[in-house]
Amino acid sequence: MYKKLTGLLFLLIVNYLISMFFMGCAQIGAPSGGPKDTVAPILVKSIPNDKTINFKGNKITLSFNEYVELQDLQNNLLVSPTQKSSPTISNKLKSVTIKFKDTLSPNTTYTINFGNAIKDINEGNVVNNFTYTFSTGNEIDSLQLKGKVLIAETNLVDSTLMVLLYKNAHDTSVITRKPDYIARLKGDGSYVFNNLPDANFNVYALKDGDGNKWYNAKTEVFAYNNEEVNTGKTNKVPTLFAFAEKKPDPSPEPALKKKTEKYLKYNSNIFSGEQDLLEPMNLTFQTPLKKIDFDSIVLCDSNYKIITHPKFNIDSTKKKIVLVNTWIPDQYLNLLVFTGAFEDSNNLKLKTTDTIPFKTKSISQYGSLKITFTNLDLSKYPILIFMNGQELKYKFPLLSNVWKTDLMAPAEYEVRILYDDNNNGQWDPGNYDKKIQPEKGIVLPQKISIKADWENERDITL
């Protein structure tokens, strides 16, 4: 009996060890998938070779080391010099094929920039700014032209702009046809053209709203260099400052389902029952007003004693009434709006006389600010601008190198300097027809934070 139990126990131990062995083997042999592919496709062959001279055909084949696909060619592909008809670009497995529709010009260097259009299929790794160059002549042009483009009003970069070169062209070429060469802006606003011939070029920048590659709408953001640039004499263009000569027409408001209203309604900008000392009071309506009786709007103290009839401004939509008044701190007031004060385009009036009670803010709710400037050019009529987000909050002319205010709402402000060349108190865009460059603004690199009941001081070097 003892021997049988010993044998049975031995068999159980052997079976256990065998099962553990195979389980261990299974774990060791499991596929891990390997590290993630983060390498962009690599060009292994091109027919003809990159930088080929005396190019005669109309077809180019690019072969990569892995399967590739094309994305957003319309916004990525740049062929320079430009052609009337864009080449046909296709891909299959590991290759990309280019077929030209137009006849290529003799003795010309061509550059095909794919931007970020080529990527691998599996992980989407992009071949950044892949470029192929060839020449129909005996040599590859090697001259270069570079520069920078900034938005004139803000001195900031808009990397969606393109830079356009017109070879031996007239001033009107940019508004009648495509350019000869196109380059994209980098993130810092710089650009570079490579493989250019020795020639005179007109230089422009454009935010191409309609995709036709030339300047045909005054609402497009545009920049131009005053003079032609010769690539044989220089490789650098002065900084271009872009502007839109006209603002686009506002988009029509979406049609709203009409509500059956019996009386006129409006909103005010009184928040938490307080009126900002530095701001006017606004009354905003949903429909345009056709009649306004300003004598039916009265400003009173807390005992309903009439103080004054405020001054009024009406915006262009006739939906906003701005009440301009010099506010006294820590004052309790009432605005009385009588039933006959307004009538809108639907012939609606107020149901009853409205009373808007409010208190003006105290001095302690504001901070003071003193700025001392270095290298401020007062001859250009500088204007100091404070932006809160996208809202222009304050604007002050600068008459000396030291500026100070005792009342400023607490917030973090972006600060700009606008050089108001014609001293009209506002930024003016350029005019290409009259060859007038835009006025230029500067955005200061550091924001200014204003604290309530605090004396804030800054030194700023331009």
Please report, for the domain that includes residue 328, its CATH number: 2.60.40.1220
Q: Is it true that the peptide bond before 48 is cis, omega within 30 degrees of 0?
A: yes
Write the DSSP assignment of 117-184 as a string of letters: -EEETTT--B-TT-EEEEESSSS---EEEEEEEEETTT----TT-EEEEEET--GGGGGTS--SEEEE
Question: Residue 148 in contact with residue 238, Cβ under 8 Å?
Answer: no
Question: Residue 43 in contact with residue 63, Cβ under 8 Å?
Answer: yes
In angstroms and rounded to an integer, the radius of gyration of the C-alpha atoms of the chain is: 35
Measure the CA–CA gap between 263 and 126, rounded to whole angstroms: 60
Question: Residue 160 in contact with residue 220, Cβ under 8 Å?
Answer: no
- The per-residue pLDDT for 256 is 52
Final residue of a structural domain among 309, 333, 361:
361
Question: Residue 456 in contact with residue 437, Cβ under 8 Å?
Answer: no
Which are the contacts of 119, defined by CB distance < 8 A and separation ≥ 6? Answer: 40, 41, 68, 69, 71, 125, 126, 127
Q: In this predicted model, what pLDDT tens digit does every residue of 350-372 receive, in sequence order?
A: 989 999 999 999 999 999 999 99
Question: Is residue 356 located within the same domain as residue 330?
Answer: yes
Question: Is residue 74 located within the same domain as residue 131?
Answer: yes
**Distance from CA of residue 329 to its chain's centroid?**
39
Question: Is residue 70 located within the same domain as residue 85?
Answer: yes
- The per-residue pLDDT for 34 is 57
- In the three-class reduction of DSSP (H, G, I as helix; E, B as strand; rest coil), residue 331 is classed as coil
Question: Is residue 312 located within the same domain as residue 371?
Answer: no
Kindly report the number of other CB atoms within 10 A of residue 188's CB atom.
10
Q: Is it true that the peptide bond before 248 is cis, omega within 30 degrees of 0?
A: no
The torsion angles phi and psi of 352, rounded to 5 degrees, stand at: -140, 175
Residue 50 in domain: yes
Question: Is residue 403 located within the same domain as residue 425?
Answer: yes
Question: Is residue 131 located within the same domain as residue 149?
Answer: no
Q: Is the alpha carbon torsion for 271, 277, 278, 279 positive or negative?
A: positive
Residue 32 in domain: no
Final residue of a structural domain among 106, 135, 164:
135
Residue 34 in domain: no
| E strand spans, 7-58 | 43-47
3-state SS of 359-389 is EECCHHHCEEEEEEEECCCHHHCEEEEEEEC
Residue 30 in domain: no
Question: Is residue 283 located within the same domain as residue 321?
Answer: yes
All residue ranges of the chain with pLDDT < 50 are 1-6, 8-10, 12, 14, 18, 21-31
Q: In this predicted model, what pLDDT tens digit does every residue of 322-361 receive, in sequence order?
A: 988 889 999 999 999 999 899 998 889 998 999 999 999 9
Q: How many CA atoms lie within 13 A of 419 on its CB side?
A: 16
Question: Is residue 131 located within the same domain as residue 204?
Answer: no
Question: Is residue 348 located within the same domain as residue 377?
Answer: no
Question: Is residue 161 located within the same domain as residue 202?
Answer: yes
With 0-12 CB in 10 A as exposed, 13-18 as middle and 19+ as buried, what is 436?
Answer: middle
Question: Is residue 372 located within the same domain as residue 355?
Answer: no
- In the three-class reduction of DSSP (H, G, I as helix; E, B as strand; rest coil), residue 24 is classed as helix
- The per-residue pLDDT for 254 is 57
Domain that holds residue 179: 143-242
- Checking DSSP bridges between strand 240-242 and strand 143-151, what pairing results, if any? parallel
- The per-residue pLDDT for 16 is 55
Residue 343 in domain: yes
Residue 251 in domain: no
For the chain, the straight-line distance linking the first and the last C-alpha, in angstroms and rounded, comes to 103
The torsion angles phi and psi of 122, rounded to 5 degrees, stand at: -75, -55
Write the DSSP assignment of 81-133 as a string of letters: S--SSPPEEEEETTEEEEE--SPPPTT-EEEEE-TT-EEETTT--B-TT-EEE
Q: Which amino acid type is present at position 434?
A: K
Total number of domains constituting the chain: 4
Residue 22 in domain: no
Query: What pTM value is reported for the model?
Result: 0.74
Question: Is residue 353 located within the same domain as residue 377?
Answer: no
Residue 6 in domain: no
- The per-residue pLDDT for 102 is 87
Tokens at residue 415, please? 């600060």
Tokens at residue 15, please? 């079976």
- The per-residue pLDDT for 295 is 87
Final residue of a structural domain among 361, 391, 422:
361
Domain of residue 415, CATH code = 2.60.40.1120
